[in-house]
Amino acid sequence: MTDLPPDEPRLRQILAHLDRQLAETETVGVYLRLQRDAVRQALAATDRPPPGPAPAPARPAVEAPRPAEYMVEQRLQAGHPLAAAVHVAGCRQTERETRAVSAGDARQALTGDPKFFRACDFCQPRRVLGLE
């Protein structure tokens, strides 16, 4: 990685290119984590016994789950042209399965490539995150 040009314009161009590549990669990472979670959930569903009186789920007494700040609504299907929608937690304008995400992941998703994620027009997560 030492074959860099000596002049500032080309160095700045290379830096900008690498920054774009990093942002794209991180967006894809968020998307892939969400997809992986969906697959894990589907896999867990295949292991479940048939519905019936279920025992109460065991919860750790110390660690309470943090409320989700944002959520991502999955695409209609993998590869559907309409990107997955990012919502503020509690938004009622969802039609499909949602998954809780942190503010950091929501921010990452909404600042990345719009072909993967879009902001909900109703709850406006971009505004809540201070992105506009």
Q: Contact between 91 and Zn ion (CB under 5 A)?
A: yes
Q: Which is nearer to Zn ion, 34 or 120 (CB)?
A: 120
Alpha-carbon span 73 to 90, nearest angstrom: 12
Q: Contact between 122 and Zn ion (CB under 5 A)?
A: yes
Residue where the block lists tokens 């990669």 = 25
Q: Which is nearer to Zn ion, 13 or 93 (CB)?
A: 93
Residues facing 88 on adjacent strands: 70
Provide the minimum distance between the beta carbon of 23 and Zn ion in the complex, in angstroms, as a whole number. Answer: 24
Q: Contact between 110 and Zn ion (CB under 5 A)?
A: no
Q: Contact between 96 and Zn ion (CB under 5 A)?
A: no
Task: State the CB neighbour count (10 A cutoff) for residue 100.
Answer: 16
Alpha-carbon span 94 to 120, nearest angstrom: 9
Q: Which two tokens stand for residue 15?
A: 């830096």
Q: Contact between 119 and Zn ion (CB under 5 A)?
A: no
Q: Which residues bind Zn ion (CB under 5 A)?
A: 87, 91, 93, 120, 122-123
